[in-house]
Structure 1
Amino acid sequence: MKPAAFTYHRARDAHGAAALLAELGEPGDEAKLIAGGQSLVPMMNFRLARPQHLVDIGGLRELRYIRPAGTGLRLGALTTHRAVETASPDVLGPGFAVLRRAMSWIGHIPIRCRGTVGGSFAHGDATAEWCLLAVLLGAEIVVQGPGRAAPRVIPADEMFLGFFTTAVAPDEVIVEVRFPRPAPHAALTEFAERRGDFATVAAAVSLDLVDGELRGGTVALGGVAPAPCRVPEAETVLAAGGRPRPELFEECAAAAAAAVDPPDDAHGSSHYRRLLIRKLVVQACEEALNQ
């Protein structure tokens, strides 16, 4: 299929893109940003999205970067998945290797070469790897609005509001994603019917380890709710501490499966998704422990 007719615009910078969105997004009209186009273009081809205006920000090279910031990390919104996947350890630092490893779950290499970090956040898919990592690691999403001198910062736990719905306003542009703290013992894993498909369930875990002792951790799930979510009940199990052991990870996984109410759909029943949660959380815990 082909997309509905639209008018093409090219932005010169993030402020200009926000101004165009504000100007073009009049009542009855819809303006959308496009960068890599890996999410928006298929939706337009199937007429699931029919923007009257497309604002192209793909040429804004100033939004393509990976920058250490103290103990944290900053990613420009137009950084591609592939750029993160191939970044050297010196660039990402040892505390953010989970980002590199997680990229292999995103589609296939052609998709990763064009798809962008900011585009994934803007799309707000509950199974998207970047969205799940943001919730797991307490990321901050930085957005620029029209006529605004300073950008607005959205914490990850306030970013995702529901199915493909985020806290980014229609006239705002995602310019940066910040990961404030390293996560040296973190892992993301998922299950899809075919490699490269959207995940049926995804699980991510970050363990707090000190001298081999477990002091707590963070557990996040995707594909089990309208938005990626943390699971406090599973984190309570990890907070008990002690030496990491298989029985503790299995208890954590069981708590995660019991705490959520996954949907029934064509990809699997709620019961099936709970079984996947129990397997994937244990797997993520083991992988995180071994990093």
Structure 2
Amino acid sequence: MEPRNQTAVSGFLLLGLTDDPALQPLVFSLFLSMYLVTVLGNLLIVLAVGSDSHLHTPMYFFLCNLSFTDVCISSTTIPKTLVNIQTQDQSISYAGCLAQLCFVFSFIGLENCLLAVMAYDRYVAICHPLRYAVIMSPRLCLLLVLLSLLLSVAHALLHTVMALPLSFCAHREIPLFFCELAKVLRLACSDTLVNDLLVYLVSFLFAGVALSGIIFSYVHIVSSVLRTPSPGGKQKAFSTCGSHLSVVSLFYGTALGVYISSAVTDSPRKTAVASVMYSVVPQMLNPFIYSLRNRDMKGALRRLTGGTASPV
């Protein structure tokens, strides 16, 4: 019998982290806590930057966009997971799955681009300090963010549109808590060769160009800092890059870890747990990294919270 597309009626099943009913309340509490911390932490960053005129600079403008993107990534996946656990219903519609897939791709891609843009900003600030205000004009900053958004959405729509003609059979279980393209393609009965090639080729180019830009920027930054005669100047230069480097390491490190773990293990539960590490944890930790390692951000957060609360 030819495979028929059943997804328009029945959709998919998101298996999540565990199928043990006794552990569901714990998983619900874990996801809810991480989501609240993510939203609160990133919104505090946005509010602190917006309310402090000293932080109205390109670096903090990009940081605001990064924080907003982190909130969007978490909001695309976690609320649906919480609803599924609360209702004890693992299903997600076909349209809902494709929409989630598209949004996840868009926001993860946007974060990837923003990290590259932030690296370029640090490169200009350290290697061309006298021309920084001219080069990183408000117009260029806005164009860089809009270009990042455009490329990310185009990248996501390409994969989503290419997934529309696929046919799916009876097996519709996705061993994650959200719809991921690679897992959806494995459930297809029709040929996915073109889709697989696009995933590896386009995604490699998309992420590779951004990562290459980050590496290029930091090679020049390190070279410029090492030529600085003043130890204090070196420390100040490296301190302005410390938070960004930490976020970059967390973002790409967790993504690489998930890729390696997926390649070496066949356990769906281990894969599901690993997916949390790149789709939830970096977005939750980013506000802590920037608030705890940045003196200006600490001051802005203290002023925002009345000078009594600790950062984030």
For normalisation by structure 1, the TM-score amounts to 0.23
Greater helix proportion: 2
Alignment TM-score, normalising by the size of structure 2: 0.22
Structure number with the higher strand fraction is: 1
Question: Greater CA radius of gyration, 1 or 2?
Answer: 2
